[in-house]
Amino acid sequence: MREIPYYEALIEAQAEEMRRDESVFLMGEDIGLFGGTFRATEGLMAEFGARRVRDTPIAEAGIIGLAIGSALAGLRPVPELMTMNFAVVAMDQIINHAAKLRYMFGGQFDMPITIRAPGGGGTQKAAQHSHSIESWFVNAPGIRVVIPSTPHDAKGLLKTSIRSDDVVLFVEHERLYSMKGPVPEETEDLLIPLGRADVKRAGQDLTIVAWSMMVHEALKAAETLAAEGIEAEVLDPRTLDPFDWDALLGSVSRTRRLVVAEEGWRTLGVGAEIAARVQEALFHELDAPVQRVAAADVPTPYARNLEQQALPHADDIVRAALKICT
């Protein structure tokens, strides 16, 4: 099977869905002539024209507002926010309108909006451009949160998201864009259902659940643990809403130990919810308390050495695992 970078998988997914459905269109800052800050829309304006690949002003609330109106009119907008942190500027439109309108009007219309947003730290973009704030959106009913860790999952989940009739926040970690991985040829219609986790590595001694960039840190940690005779299962939920609780609880009921690894802040993060639910469901089956690995509760520093200290790494996962396995 061919290997392509994450960003090319995103380009293919968008192009295939635009060819399939004329109601799909893209919009965002620098996505057209420039091809996107991370090249994830490169070449699409040349194929589909400026009518369906629209460069917008720097106005995130306006971008999402336009997406809402377009969806109500029967289109399938795919707005891109230049960074996940800029979603904060559009929070009223996302949380107070896009996520709630279908419910408030009794399901009389759909809201097929797929918001693409780069996120994550580790690239020295300082405190206003470097965070993993997906937990803020998981907390809000009415939004699907999709967060793939590989090119294969990025393509299959983006195609599914665009076809969904729900509001989807599609989070892409900035350090994943250049990462290569196997993806089937374009002739195959790759669709991955939302809410279905994937076992990235099988194991029987403990479960590590991680998403986005932290999946790769978890896999590094699993290799280190294997050298110590501990076989870790790495489970990637791929979507945080809907979350595949059956897959997670099934894994933990076998391994009897759990480490949750996320790049978001520790306090009130997604990991806290996972830990609470697992201990509610499997308290008597756990051999040790659930361990959480997360970013320090500080704005991400610009200085590289401090940024690396603030972010979680494979070594942190190893230490958490050894704490409950030895």
Ordered structural domains, the chain, with CATH? 3-182 (3.40.50.970), 198-325 (3.40.50.920)
Q: Which residue has the tokens 């299962």?
A: 233
Any bridge partners for residue 199, and if so which? 235
Is 70 exceeded by the pLDDT of residue 187? no
Q: What is the DSSP letter of 51?
A: T
- Mean pLDDT to the nearest integer, 5-28: 97
- Residue 60, pLDDT above cutoff 70: yes
Residue 123, Cβ density class (10 Å: 0-12 exposed, 13-18 middle, ≥19 buried) = middle
Pairing outcome for strands 258-265 and 206-210: parallel
pLDDT at 244: 98
Q: How far apart are CA 206 and CA 221, in angstroms?
A: 12
* pLDDT for position 67: 98
Q: Is the pLDDT at 113 greater than 90, yes or no?
A: yes
Residue 169: phi and psi, rounded to 5, are -100, 115
What residues pair up with 201 in beta bridges, in sequence order? 234
Q: Determine the 3-state secondary structure of 137 from DSSP.
A: helix
Supply the residues annotated as catalytic: 60, 129
Fill in the DSSP letter of residue 37. T
Q: How far, rounded to the nearest angstrom, does the alpha carbon of residue 188 sit from its chain's CA centroid?
A: 23
| Distance from C-alpha of 131 to C-alpha of 226, rounded to nearest angstrom | 31
Rounded mean pLDDT of the chain? 96
Taking the whole predicted model, whether its pTM rises above 0.85 is answered as: yes
Is pLDDT above 70 for 107?
A: yes
Q: What is the pLDDT of residues 205-254, one digit of tens each?
A: 999 999 999 999 999 999 999 999 999 999 999 999 999 999 999 999 99
User: Are residues 122 and 145 in contact, defined by beta-carbon separation less than 8 angstroms?
Assistant: no
